[in-house]
Amino acid sequence: MSINIGNEVSKLKIYKDEQGKYKTYIKSTTTNENGKKEDTYMSKKVMFRKGVELKNKSVIEVTKGWLSPYKIKTDELNENGKPKYKYFDKIFVSEFNLLKEGTDEVQKTKQPKQEPQDSFAFDIGQDMELPF
Average pLDDT over residues 68-95: 91
Query: How far, in Å, are 27, 53, 74, 104 from residue 65 at the CA level?
Result: 19, 17, 28, 25
Structural domains of the chain ordered from first start: 3-100 (2.40.50)
pLDDT attached to residue 67: 87
pLDDT band at 2 (very low <50, low <70, confident <90, very high): very low
Neighbours of 91 (CB within 10 A): 22
pLDDT in tens, 50-78: 999 999 999 998 888 888 888 999 999 99
47-75 burial, b for 16+ CB within 10 Å, e for fewer? Answer: bbeeeeebebbbebebeebbeeeeeeeee
State how beta strands 37-48 and 3-4 pair. Answer: unpaired
Element (H, E) at 88: strand 83-100
pTM confidence score:
0.66
